[in-house]
Amino acid sequence: MMETSPFVVDFDWLESRIGKPGVSIVDASWYLPAQNRDAKAEHDAAHVPGAVFFDQDLVVEPGADLPHTLPSEEVFGKFASSMGISTNDTIVVYDGPGMFSAPRVWWMFRIMGAREVYVLDGGFDRWKAAGRPVTNEPTKIAPSFFRARLDDARVARLGDMREIVASGSSQIADARPAGRFTGVDPEPRAGMRSGHMPGAANVPATRLSKDGKLLSVNELQEVFEKQCVDLEKPVVTSCGSGVTAAVITLALESVGHRDNKLYDGSWTEWGRRDDTPVETGS
């Protein structure tokens, strides 16, 4: 039997815990403009009973000039508390397709101090198709307090990335599709150069899951090996705006790799500057 990640749960696991005290269910669906889906409207129309919507464009640092900038402890704690989530809850995060945007929110809750955080394997689209329970009833939110304590060591910022690119002190794993990584395809955001950070390895997020489910631990190890990521060394994950980088982070943690950070600004920060080195090709 293939070993599954300790950070994912299946449909049976979640369905048996709907409505249980201390279990928080979070809809973290978010879509690129090209996907032409409205995550909030879809949530309002149908969600797992008891789920609350986590708006990834809203739960950010106020005034930041980059998308999805990690908020401060205070800001994150206020949002989480307003969703009825406590630090000690068992938190299950899902998205529509599975293994797309949910890992980012899994990562955020973990680095803000929650210990029991999981991603729903398979995603909500398949949950609904399988006839699992859904509702359009807004979730009644009970008062709660989320005490956020940021583990800053898990976050990489521009200065860190400059040093890493210059020294090679950490591997960089880039979750964007191969075409964007090599510079063959343009970036979806205007004003971005194409290509990647010097020395980065391309680990497309889509390679790490199948049918919305995270690959087994053995399969994940094989992907990392094939994409030239040494699991004995530190890794920083990156992507377009810090969302799908967390799919790599989830995969790394799943195979027991702990010395990893996520580059919060990702390519939106690096690729729009004129003072950061960029390579093209594979």
239 is catalytic: yes
Residue 254 and residue 5 in contact, taking contact as beta carbons nearer than 8 Å = yes
Structure tokens at 258: 């702990």
Which residue out of 39, 239, 245, 262 is catalytically annotated? 239
Strand-pairing partners, residue 210, are 213
Q: Is 41 exposed, middle or buried (0-12, 13-18, 19+ CB in 10 A)?
A: exposed
Structure tokens at 173: 């794993």
CA distance 70 to 68: 6
Q: Is 90 exposed, middle or buried (0-12, 13-18, 19+ CB in 10 A)?
A: middle
- If DSSP codes are grouped into helix, strand and coil, which group holds residue 80? helix
Structure tokens at 6: 């300790």
Residue 231 and residue 120 in contact, taking contact as beta carbons nearer than 8 Å = no
Q: Is 114 exposed, middle or buried (0-12, 13-18, 19+ CB in 10 A)?
A: buried
Residue 197 and residue 270 in contact, taking contact as beta carbons nearer than 8 Å = yes
Residue 200 makes CB contacts below 8 A (sequence gap 6+) with 172, 173, 174, 181, 238, 279
Q: Is 47 exposed, middle or buried (0-12, 13-18, 19+ CB in 10 A)?
A: buried
Catalytic residue list: 239
